[in-house]
Amino acid sequence: MAVIGKDIKKAIEILKSGEVIGMPTETVYGLAGNAYNTEAITKIFTVKNRPTFDPLIVHTSSVERVREFVSEIPEKAQLLANHFMPGPLTLLLPKKDIISDLVTSGLDTVAVRIPNHPLALQLLENLDFPLAAPSANPFGYISPTSAQHVDNQLGEKIKYILDGGECTVGIESSIIGFFSDEIVVFRKGGLAIEEIENIVGKVRIEEHSSSNPKAPGMLKSHYAPRTQLLVTGDLSLVDNNVGKIGYLGFDKFHPLIPQESQLLLSSTGDLAEAAKNLFAYMRLLDTRGFDKIYTDLLPEKGLGRAINDRIKRATTPE
Ligand code: TXA
Ligand code: MG
């Protein structure tokens, strides 16, 4: 078990020694290490059991500090940074040599994020290096939205988890890349596409693929609980032959499943509340010993699009 606490000094000391820690952000918890130290980066990949072809996000505390390790900030990236950083947004920008190929899996762009979380910002401000941090879950599992989630899964492998409470956004950041003629969303996340388009105009959404690791962040089978998760589609799927069933609903209970086997993401139909609860509720249902968990897609708008993306990736086709 790791120590869970709010001791920034201790976190700084561990990070300076080249070790990794659990770190809070507003989206999900990260597994953080010195982005300039290849030993620390290697530890991140090992602890997470993550393939090295899947690059890491580098976190810092201000746009000025981004220039330390990024060679250029395109105009539209700067516009998005002005509006949404700190926030649930990750920008893919051309890297300087100070960022090793290990961090970017050999790509010439680095993923950059400024988390909107007071403790994370305080930590980053007090370090003279940025922090590489993927979500602090074992590769392929649901991202953690509390210090306890991190401890449950990685507690044996790390010394310290900085406790920043429950994540307020609850799903990972939106990832955006810039090309001469277009802006591309590589991962739908905590910043709605509508909000991005309000600032920079139409964007293209890159669908994820499991065959092309260069299509960033986009391994299809991701975010899965251990119990089989299925989208009901139609109610007849829920018959007597499927054993004990759980249900993860948006704002309404499923009429054919006992209510004690159900959780609602937001009884008032609020998409931000649904995003905040999504992973925590998937985890809760995963511990209940159901044979299957059913769910349904949410309205395909605002944060609903990112939530649906996570649900689709977590479901197993029958
Ligand atoms: O909200 C978040 O983004 C959280 C918190 C901890 O900041 N982090 C996170 O990291 O979700 P991770 O590693 O679980 O997901 C980052 C994704 C990866 O799937 C990776 O493929 C993609 O970002 N990525 C990183 N660097 C990239 C790059 N240079 N080009 C394209 N994709 C990149
Ligand atoms: Mg992740």
Per-residue pLDDT of 186-236, as tens digits, reads 999 999 999 999 999 999 999 765 444 444 445 555 567 788 898 886 555
- Beta carbons within 10 angstroms of residue 118's beta carbon: 13
Q: Which atom of ligand 1 is nearest to the CA of 30?
A: 6
Higher pLDDT, 89 or 139: 89
pLDDT at 219: 53
> In this structure, which long-range contacts are made by residues 135-138, counting pairs with CB atoms below 8 Å and at least 24 apart in sequence?
135/28, 135/29, 135/30, 135/31, 135/172, 136/22, 136/23, 136/28, 136/29, 136/30, 136/31, 136/48, 137/48, 138/48, 138/49
**Residue 263 main-chain phi, psi, to 5 deg:** -130, 140
Which residue in this structure is represented by tokens 């040599």? 97
Is the distance from CB of 24 to CB of 163 less than 8 angstroms? yes
Residue 80 has phi, psi (to 5 degrees) of -65, -40
- Residues 82-103 have a mean pLDDT of 98
Q: How far apart are CA 217 and CA 190, in angstroms?
A: 15
* 294 three-state secondary structure: strand
**Contact in structure between 286 and 224 (CB atoms under 8 Å):** no
> In angstroms, what is the span from residue 141 Cα to ligand 1's centroid?
14
Give the distance (Å) from ligand 2 centre to CA of residue 173: 10
* Structure token pair of residue 268: 């008032």
Residues with Cβ within 6 A of ligand 1?
A: 25, 27-28, 30, 54-57, 90, 92, 104, 107, 109-111, 113, 115, 133-135, 172-173, 175, 186, 216-217
C-alpha distance from residue 86 to each of 27, 81, 89, 116, 173 (Å): 12, 8, 8, 5, 11
Q: What are the backbone dihedrals phi and psi of residue 144, each rounded to the nearest 5 degrees, phi first?
A: -85, 140
pLDDT of residue 270: 98
Q: pLDDT tens-digit profile of 6-41?
A: 999 999 999 999 999 999 999 999 999 999 999 999
Q: How far is the CA of 218 from the centre of ligand 2 (A)?
A: 10
**177: helix, strand or coil:** strand
- In the chain, what's the furthest Cα-to-Cα distance? 60
Q: Best substitution site from 175, 178, 276 to test ligand 1's pocket, by max atoms within 8 Å of Cβ?
A: 175
Residue nearest to atom 30 of ligand 1 (CA): 216
pTM of the model: 0.94
How far apart are the C-alpha atoms of 27 and 23, rounded to whole Å?
11
CA 303 to ligand 1 centroid distance, Å: 18
Reported as a pLDDT band with limits 50, 70 and 90, residue 262 is: very high
And the tokens for 44? 């991140």
- Distance between Cα 48 and ligand 1 center (Å): 13
Nearest atom, ligand 1, residue 54 CA: 21
Ligand 1 pocket, mutate which of 69, 142, 145, 172 (most atoms under 8 A from CB):
172
The best mutation among 23, 71, 90, 309 to test binding of ligand 1, ranked by most ligand atoms within 8 Å of the C-beta, falls on 90
* Listed range (165-174, 239-248, 258-267) with the worst mean pLDDT: 239-248
**Do 302 and 271 meet the contact criterion of CB atoms below 8 Å apart?**
yes
pLDDT of 225 reads 79
